[in-house]
Amino acid sequence: MKIKKIENRLSFFFLTLAITILNIHNLSILGIIIGSILSIFFIFFMEKLNIYKYKVIKIFLMFLTFFFMTIYLNKITYFIGDNILRNYSLISISLTIIIFTYYLANKGYHTIVKVIMLASYFIIFIFLIGFLFLFPYLNLSNLNINIFTSNNLFKESFYYAIFIVYSYFLIYPLSNTKFQIRDLVINSSYQILSFLSIFSVLGLTLESLYKYSYIVIFKKVSLIGFIERIEIIFSLNYLFIFFFLLVLSFYQIKYNLQYFIKKDKNQSIILIIITILIFCTNLLFT
């Protein structure tokens, strides 16, 4: 079966969203805009040179993905431990995630994007509801010049461009589809919108104080004293997105590994990588 364009677009959308949310404290709106423009140049430059065909790039990408996975697995484990399973051990959480990741990534790219497509109905519905609920809490006086720019604008933009290029490598070369600028425009617009809503609800001071400001905003929601404490639903929403980031990252390693190790021994090597991942994240960072 052929992979639909919308499936790739949605996967790219969730990937960039997950990376932005996980790095929210290091970004500003102008940083996102400049970073998006930078990433367009990077991506077109790389597509022109067709750098993905080089083995060196594949090896570099594998190591980069491995590095990102260790960081993100740790962040996601803490996210679940702090917001969803508060009394659960962190090692069990990361073990569960990594096993699910391994399982889904081994099913292949087609299955992954189909799962993302299915989950997207739930995720998009919850996001729309979220914006609707947050509407009474938006306070435009909280938006000041500091949220639009920052002192490290160049650094921020460069980081954001790297995140986008990284997301690009997890989707487009693997599915043999061409990158389109409008995909990125939609993503960046949505991210700017979510940035604005977070800052306008919390303000710059509170946003910088909270580790999970994107969840804290939903703690404020209370409609007619009946619909409240809905942040757990939004935590689940983010959990899905973070999970897709790990699955696609893992698939990237698996996919590139096939170029170097032809035999089925790949499976065991990947398992070793997973074990290293779990130990790295839990022993080094926890």
Partner 1 sequence: MKKYLILILLFLVTGCSSYIELNDLVIINAIGLAKQNNNYHLYISYVDEINKDTIEPTTTVKEMEGNSLNQIIDDLSLILSKKIYMSHLDLLVINDSIKTKELENIINYFLNNNETREDFLVINTDNIKDILEQTKFKEINDLIENNQRETSKTIYTTMYDVIENYYQKENIYLPYLTYNNSLTLKGLKVFSKNKYSLIEEDEVIYINYLLNKINSYKYSYECADDKFLYLNILGANVNELSKELLITNEIKVITNDCKLKQKEIEQIFNKNLKDNLEKITKKKLTIKNTIRGTYEN
Of residues 50 and 268, the one with the C-beta less far from partner 1:
268
Strand partners, 196: none
SS3 227: strand
Nearest approach in angstroms of CB 249 to partner 1 is 19
95 binds partner 1 (CB under 8 A): yes
Compute the distance between CA of residue 243 and CA of residue 122 in angstroms, rounded to an integer.
Answer: 15
44 binds partner 1 (CB under 8 A): no
Cβ distance 115 to 7 under 8 Å?
no
Cβ distance 181 to 40 under 8 Å?
yes
**Residue 174 corresponds to which amino acid?**
L
Nearest approach in angstroms of CB 93 to partner 1 is 9
**Residues near partner 1 (CB under 8 A), total:** 27
What contacts 235, CB < 8 A, 6 or more positions away?
Answer: 79, 83, 84, 215
Of residues 21 and 164, the one with the C-beta less far from partner 1:
21
Nearest approach in angstroms of CB 274 to partner 1 is 11
Nearest approach in angstroms of CB 145 to partner 1 is 14
Query: Which member of 96, 111, 175, 180 binds partner 1 (CB under 8 A)?
Result: 96
Of residues 83 and 167, the one with the C-beta less far from partner 1:
83
Nearest approach in angstroms of CB 73 to partner 1 is 15
47 binds partner 1 (CB under 8 A): no
- Positions 176 through 205 that interact with partner 1 (CB under 8 A): 202-203, 205
Q: How many CB atoms lie within 10 A of CB 267?
A: 14
> Could you write out the DSSP letters of every residue in 6-61?
HHHHHHHHHHHHHHHHHTGGG--HHHHHHHHHHHHHHHHHHHHHTGGGSHHHHHHH
Of residues 23 and 96, the one with the C-beta less far from partner 1:
96
Query: Which member of 13, 68, 102, 238 binds partner 1 (CB under 8 A)?
Result: 102
206 binds partner 1 (CB under 8 A): yes
Of residues 153 and 230, the one with the C-beta less far from partner 1:
230
- Beta-sheet strands, E only, within the chain: 222-223, 227-228
Tokens 């960072």 sit on residue = 285
- Positions 123 through 142 that interact with partner 1 (CB under 8 A): 141
Compute the distance between CA of residue 237 and CA of residue 248 in angstroms, rounded to an integer.
Answer: 17
Of residues 30 and 203, the one with the C-beta less far from partner 1:
203
Compute the distance between CA of residue 140 and CA of residue 200 in angstroms, rounded to an integer.
Answer: 6
Q: Which residues bind partner 1 (CB under 8 A)?
A: 82-83, 85-89, 92, 95-96, 99-100, 102-103, 141, 202-203, 205-206, 209-210, 212, 216, 219-220, 222, 229
